[in-house]
Amino acid sequence: MTTQDKPGARAVKIPRPRIAVFAATSLDGHIARPDGGLDWLEAANARLPPGEDCGFRAFLDGADLLAMGRASFEAVLGLGRWPYEGKPVEVLSRQALVLPRALRESVSVVAGEPAELAARWAAQGLRRVYLDGGQTVQRFLAAGLVDEITLTIVPVLLGAGRPLFGALPRELALVPLETRSYGFGFVQLRYAVQPG
């Protein structure tokens, strides 16, 4: 019998999953061009040594769920290949979305405030959620619901675009966990977000 089966279990505080961001930005903090374009990142990735993915696959494998914003979902669709094969994905959107047929098994569209989503994920027994997308990351950070940030900095200044970070109701202290400097010019910073 699991916690969820017990009568009155809804009143029991279920630990929420660890919510972790894994994102690449330009040095000036953009995750995409103003129109959502990822061509600059694709171009940079194309110069990586064969087999190098800066820890992306391991990070993805460690997550029970990928939760991403609608804009990021559409940007990834625009790449023409789906990098999350087999991984359960929730697209956070207030609008209904028509999903490509091939994705209808693994992708669902959900809406809700970060706290509601986190509570639902906890109730589902998820232990680790991969959070993606600028607006989504910003909403969860503002709600105090991001535990970890892995930021890969691509050596370019885009000068315009969609930012990863945004306004916060209060500042958040970070605890550095790891820094990696790749020979091809990417730098990866990993931080824990200090609980408020």
Cβ proximity of 130 and 22 under 8 Å: yes
CB atoms within 10 A of CB 108: 13
Gap between the Cα atoms of 162 and 31, Å rounded: 6
Residues in contact with its own copies, shown as a per-residue x/- string from 103 to 142 under the rule CB under 8 A: --------------------------------------xx
C-alpha pair distances (Å), 105 with each of 3, 83, 94, 109: 27, 15, 20, 12
Q: Which of 117, 176, 165 is nearest to 137 (CA)?
A: 165
Conformational region of residue 94, where left means phi above 0, alpha means psi within -120 to 50, and beta covers everything else? alpha
- Bridge partners, 151 (sequence order): 23, 189
In the complex, least distance from residue 51 CB atom to its own copies, rounded to whole angstroms: 21
Q: Is 158 in the site for its own copies (CB under 8 A)?
A: yes
Stretch that binds its own copies, among 11-19, 107-115, 124-132, 174-182 (CB under 8 A): 174-182
Q: Which of 89, 63, 65 is nearest to 76 (CA)?
A: 89
Residues in contact with its own copies, shown as a per-residue x/- string from 26 to 45 under the rule CB under 8 A: xxxx----------x-----
Count of residues interacting with its own copies (CB under 8 A): 36
In the complex, least distance from residue 119 CB atom to its own copies, rounded to whole angstroms: 24
HSE-CB for 107 with a 13 A CA cutoff: 23
58, 102, 110, 168: which one contacts its own copies (CB under 8 A)?
Answer: 168
Stretch that binds its own copies, among 58-66, 70-78, 105-113, 158-166 (CB under 8 A): 158-166
- Bridge partners, 139 (sequence order): none
Stretch that binds its own copies, among 3-11, 56-64, 76-84, 150-158 (CB under 8 A): 150-158
In the complex, least distance from residue 125 CB atom to its own copies, rounded to whole angstroms: 29
Q: Among residues 43 and 111, whose Cβ is nearest to its own copies?
A: 43
Gap between the Cα atoms of 68 and 133, Å rounded: 6
Contact positions vs its own copies (CB under 8 A): 26-29, 40, 141-142, 149, 151, 153, 155-160, 164-176, 179, 181, 185, 187, 189, 191, 193
